[in-house]
Amino acid sequence: MEAHDHVEPVSPQPVVPAWVALKDDELLARRICDLGVQIAGSELEGRVAQFQEELASRGLAFRPACYLGDEWFSPAGVPAIAIPFYLAHPRLKTLEHRQMLEVEGGTPEWCQKLLRHECGHAIDHAYRFSSREDWRSVFGSPETEYAPETYQPRPYSKGFVRHLPNWYAQAHPDEDFAETFAVWLALKPEEWREQYRGWKALEKLKFVHSMMEEAKSTAPKASRGRHISDASKLRKTLARYYAERRKLYAEDFPDFYDADLRVIFENGDAQGESAAKVMRKNRAALVGSIVRWTQQRKYTVDMLVRRLMQRCQQLELTAPRDQSRLSYELAAYLATLVTNHLHTGRFKRSV
């Protein structure tokens, strides 16, 4: 409708790319740059348009450039958003799911949340808000050591908004700003004022609101920059891409849980069912519950359960005859392991 409702011209993708029919192992041999995927014409086109309408509805003329990259991020200093390339085609989403067990941003709601969050970084890159004294007095110094994988969240804190899982706003001042911006963008002012009434985080929302009032009437300091990890230039194969990511998410777990496993399985029953078999039977339910309550990556949790199963097998543990308490013990233990890992930084999640 208005000039700022700019939508990229639709250049048609090949109707059905030839690689769609390939089996996984054949597809994995392809290079990312040869896939020819684009936002235009994919389901991302509508999601980006919806996100841009949201920006317009808050009165902002700012539109970050959106491009396909290798993961969700906003390149440092550049007012742009990289969206992982696998979201641009259903065949690639299927492959992603098979390789990583989940598709980050694969549903419309999840995608909007990530777009809003990355837009928080992108608008900061455009206006350099975080270099200002008043920004620092509200969010802290952006020079704080950047360690989104080692922060220790306080789940009860009312000093931070809640948008992405794992109290992600608490990871770093830049993430705090991105998350506060995301809430500001998602909700009407009367809604966030109501929802965060009595919270310390309301001060941050009000501050973001005043900064966005400024942004409405001033031109950004940076309007372009290099789109790093542009999918159309990524020469690595999908096989290599997944090998690297799986390695990143599944770091080695030490063997310190041997003693714990013996306690959980109560040194078993000599004639009992194998502990590994019992875990295998319950694996889907276990992984599902832990992912739901810890919000950790499914791939990481599944990998942890697989490693524990393997360890049970090596230790030749058997299950006690009475298995009624076993699934509770296992679920509580695994949730604790996963949560501790979030605190000690062995599980990486950063957006």
Residues in a beta bridge with 82: 67, 73
Give the nearest distance from C-beta 84 to Zn ion in angstroms. 14
- Separation CA 265–CA 263 (nearest Å): 5
**171 is a site residue for Zn ion (CB under 5 A):** no
- Separation CA 287–CA 297 (nearest Å): 10
Q: And the tokens for 306?
A: 């697989």
Compute the C-alpha angle 235/236/238, nearest 5°: 125
How many residues belong to the site for Zn ion (CB under 5 A)? 3
- Separation CA 279–CA 288 (nearest Å): 13
Give the nearest distance from C-beta 120 to Zn ion in angstroms. 7
User: CB within 8 A of 133, min separation 6: which ones?
Assistant: none
**122 is a site residue for Zn ion (CB under 5 A):** no
Give the nearest distance from C-beta 351 to Zn ion in angstroms. 5
Give the nearest distance from C-beta 101 to Zn ion in angstroms. 22
Q: And the tokens for 45?
A: 């086109």
Q: Which residue, 124 or 175, is less far from Zn ion as judged by CB?
A: 175
Give the nearest distance from C-beta 178 to Zn ion in angstroms. 5
- Separation CA 45–CA 66 (nearest Å): 10
Single out the segment in contact with Zn ion by CB under 5 A; choices: 20-28, 104-112, 174-182, 298-306. 174-182
Task: Cite the DSSP H helix spans in 250-325.
Answer: 258-264, 275-294, 298-314
Q: Which residue, 66 or 351, is less far from Zn ion as judged by CB?
A: 351
Give the nearest distance from C-beta 123 to Zn ion in angstroms. 12
Q: Which residue, 123 or 351, is less far from Zn ion as judged by CB?
A: 351
Q: Which residue, 185 or 326, is less far from Zn ion as judged by CB?
A: 185
Q: Which residue, 178 or 309, is less far from Zn ion as judged by CB?
A: 178
Crossing angle between the packed helical segments 275-294 and 326-344, to the nearest 10 degrees: 50
Q: Are 103 and 86 in contact (CB under 8 A)?
A: yes
Interface of this chain with Zn ion, residues 316 to 335, rule: CB under 5 A: none
- CA distance from start to end of the chain: 32
Q: Which residue, 175 or 302, is less far from Zn ion as judged by CB?
A: 175
**178 is a site residue for Zn ion (CB under 5 A):** yes
Q: Which residue, 81 or 326, is less far from Zn ion as judged by CB?
A: 81
**What separation in angstroms does the CA of 99 have from each of 83, 90, 95, 158?**
18, 14, 6, 37
Site string for Zn ion, 129-168 (x = CB under 5 A): ----------------------------------------
Q: Which residue, 178 or 305, is less far from Zn ion as judged by CB?
A: 178
Give the nearest distance from C-beta 90 to Zn ion in angstroms. 27
Phi and psi (nearest 5°) for 93?
-65, -40
Crossing angle between the packed helical segments 43-57 and 108-127, to the nearest 10 degrees: 60
Give the nearest distance from C-beta 231 to Zn ion in angstroms. 20
- Separation CA 48–CA 228 (nearest Å): 19
Single out the segment in contact with Zn ion by CB under 5 A; choices: 45-53, 210-218, 322-330, 343-351. 343-351
- Separation CA 20–CA 8 (nearest Å): 25
Single out the segment in contact with Zn ion by CB under 5 A; choices: 11-19, 173-181, 209-217, 313-321. 173-181
Q: Which residue, 338 or 351, is less far from Zn ion as judged by CB?
A: 351
Give the nearest distance from C-beta 182 to Zn ion in angstroms. 9
- Separation CA 198–CA 20 (nearest Å): 52
Give the nearest distance from C-beta 166 to Zn ion in angstroms. 12
Secondary structure (DSSP) of 201-212: HHHHHHHHHHHH
Q: Which residues bind Zn ion (CB under 5 A)?
A: 175, 178, 351
